[in-house]
Amino acid sequence: MVPSPKTVRKAVFPVGGLGTRFLPATKAQPKEMLPVVDKPLVHYAVEEARAAGIEQFIFVTGRGKAAIADHFDVSYELKHQLSTRSKEAEVIEDWLPDPGQVCFTRQQEPLGLGHAVWCARHLVGDEPFAVLLADDLMLGEPPCMRQMVDAYSRVGGNLVCVENVAPAFTSRYGILDVAGEDGRLVRARGIVEKPKPSRAPSTLGVVGRYILHPGIFNVLENVERGTGGEIQLTDGLLAMTGTVPFHGLRCDARRFDCGDKAGFVVANVAVALEREDIRDYVREQLEALIGAPRSTRKAAG
C-alpha cells in the first residue's frame, strides 16, 4: 500500500553531539546513553516514536557513539546469561526494534542541528518525518510524539512542539513568532533561534520534537550558518514559512531538559517517583534530605 502523504513513518534522532556539559560522565560514553533511572535517554525517545506509529528509526551519530547501536542490537552474551531467567530477558529484548528498522549515518562534522537533520536526507527520502532530540525527555499520555502525529494529520507542513518558557530563557530555544492560536495549536509566521529576551517575538519555545516536510532538506542545503556558526534547523523552518503550513503544538506532557545537569537530576527523581518498585523508598529519602538540610550541610562540612 502506498502511504498517504501525511503518514509519518520515519523518525530522525540527531545523536552526534559531544555532551560537553556532562563531562566527565560523557568522556567515554554518549550523553544519549545516560540513564534516567534504568533506561538510557535515547531509549525513551525511541519508545515515544514507536508509540506514535513510527516504523523506521534513523540515527545521525558521530564518533564515539557505538554504544547507541549496541543498545538497539541483540546482546548474545546477556541473552545467554539470562536465558533461564525469563523476566530479565524481557528487560533486554522485548523492546528491541525489528531487524532493519534501525539505521545509522554519521554527521562527520559538528555543524549543528540543521546539518544533522540534512545528513538523514537519503534515508528519509520524499516523505514527512519526525525529529526527536533525546535530551528533551517528554513524559505524557498519550506520548508527546503521538499527540504531534495526530495534530500533524490535520495541519501538515512543519509542526514543532512548543511550551512557554520564562522570558529570561528565550536565548536557550527556538522562539515562535505567533500569528494565531487555536487551543493547543499555534499558527506561526516565523521563528528565531535563541533570541535575547528583548528581541524574542514571544515566549513560546521549541521543545525537541518536530514533524517536518521533506522540502526542509533542499532548504537546509542552502541555509547560511546562523547562531553559533552552525546550520540551524530553525533557519530552515524560517525559510519555509509561507511555503507550507507552520504550526506549534503545546503538547500535554511534562518536559525535562536532560541536556542540563539540574534538569537531568529532576528527570531521574520524577521517573523514580512514578516507578512502583522504588518510589516509596525514593520519596522517603527525598523527604529526609529536604527535611534536614542543616544537618546535611553540617555533615558535609
d(CA 42, CA 31) in angstroms, rounded, equals 9
For ligand G1P, the closer of residues 15 and 102 by Cβ is 15
Sign of the alpha-carbon torsion through 48, 54, 57, 59: negative
Reported in sequence order, the residue ranges of the chain that DSSP labels E, i.e. its strands, are: 10-14, 35-36, 39-40, 56-61, 102-106, 129-132, 136-139, 158-164, 174-182, 185-193, 204-212, 246-250, 254-257
Minimum Å distance from CB 194 to ligand G1P?
Answer: 7
Minimum Å distance from CB 47 to ligand G1P?
Answer: 18
Window contacting ligand G1P (CB under 6 A); options: 29-37, 96-104, 203-211, 265-273: 203-211
Q: How many Cα atoms sit within 13 Å of 192 on the Cβ side?
A: 15
Minimum Å distance from CB 56 to ligand G1P?
Answer: 22
**Residue 52 near residue 143 (C-beta atoms within 8 A):** yes
User: Residues binding ligand G1P: what is the number (CB under 6 A)?
Assistant: 14
DSSP one-letter string for 198-255: GG-S-SEEEEEEEEE-TTHHHHHHHPPP-GGGS--HHHHHHHHBTTB-EEEEE-SSEE
Window contacting ligand G1P (CB under 6 A); options: 18-26, 75-83, 228-236, 263-271: 228-236
Nearest to 51 by CA among 156, 161, 145, 150: 145
**Residue 169 near residue 206 (C-beta atoms within 8 A):** no
Window contacting ligand G1P (CB under 6 A); options: 24-32, 75-83, 177-185, 201-209: 201-209
Nearest to 223 by CA among 238, 236, 234, 240: 236
For ligand G1P, the closer of residues 58 and 191 by Cβ is 191
Footprint (CB under 6 A) of ligand G1P, residues 101-130: 113
Footprint (CB under 6 A) of ligand G1P, residues 136-175: 136, 173-174
Q: How many Cα atoms sit within 13 Å of 132 on the Cβ side?
A: 32
Footprint (CB under 6 A) of ligand G1P, residues 57-96: none
Footprint (CB under 6 A) of ligand G1P, residues 259-288: 259
C-alpha cell at 278: 522504588
For ligand G1P, the closer of residues 89 and 266 by Cβ is 266
Number of residue whose CB is nearest ligand G1P: 174
Minimum Å distance from CB 246 to ligand G1P?
Answer: 14
Minimum Å distance from CB 261 to ligand G1P?
Answer: 14
Window contacting ligand G1P (CB under 6 A); options: 60-68, 73-81, 95-103, 205-213: 205-213
State the residues that interact with ligand G1P by CB under 6 A. Answer: 113, 133, 136, 173-174, 193, 205-208, 232-234, 259
